[in-house]
Amino acid sequence: MDTRPIGVFDSGLGGLTAVRQLRRVLPGEDIVYFGDTGRVPYGSRGRDIIVQYARQDIRFLLQQDVKFIIAACGTVSSTYPPEEAARLPVPFTGVVGATARAAVDATRNRKIGIIGTAATVRSGSYAAIIRDMMPDVQIFARACPMFVPLVENGYFNDGNPVTKLIIAEYLQELKDAGVDTLILGCTHYPLLKKMIGDFMGDEVHLVDSGKVTAQAAAAALDDLGLLNGKKSGGTARYFVSDTPDNFDELAHTFLGEYAGGTVERIAIETY
């Protein structure tokens, strides 16, 4: 048994959708969450800057004595060097591997759509893993740069006309291509899941990267003997890099409950 917390980070608050799923599958585990709200979004940045930000986020979590780190960020997961991740003092996982496997398992017509930030799509990380598992797959990838700021600014209520218009603009090509499986390749996107599902249609299976990653992380923690053995009572501490004003109200949307406790602002640039 290991009583240290699980570390989770994201470019903003979208990673709280992964925390929500993690709390469901591992309700007894303690969690430390960092959201880089002062530098969101990561997806429009260059590779070197994304890697720099990821290193700072990881160093902060390591100082919190975490036992396992989850990059609940498609951009970081697609960009952070795997050889560097392998050298970290604790196990590390992103969202790409488990999500790609879930998409391969779900598709029936071997037409898979991928949506994510510009950096995620540019990296080709999802496509490479999927093709390794299913060589004859047809992949249709689309960068959706407006989705993260829409979510971070609260434009995700069902039926919001601005968001509906942007969803149609981004996803019409994938719908016309006949994909039967669509990867929501950013943990912000589950907040848009209903509207995306309404547009794509009931026959298209949506793969929630945060949910799949939480399930995979829970299995990995169990395999590694890192669970704390508790079945309930897990706590969570929250840190951000911008003002924490209205954090609890915003976090409620992502978590499905009020965060409770306090949120602390940190100077992530110092790590």
The catalytic residues are 73, 186
Residues 6+ apart with CB under 8 A from 200: 171, 174, 175, 179, 182, 206
Q: If you write DSSP's letter for every residue of 224-236 in order, what string do you get? A: TT-----SS---E
**Angle, CA of 124, 90 and 79, to the nearest 5°:** 15
DSSP class of residue 269 equals G
| CB 228, CB 221: distance < 8 Å | no
> Which letter, b or e, does each residue of 212-222 get, where b requires 16 or more Cβ atoms within 10 Å of its Cβ?
bbbbbbbeebe
| CB 31, CB 19: distance < 8 Å | yes
Residue 111 — left, alpha, or beta (φ > 0 → left; ψ -120 to 50 → alpha)? Answer: beta
| CB 15, CB 210: distance < 8 Å | yes
**Angle, CA of 55, 99 and 57, to the nearest 5°:** 15
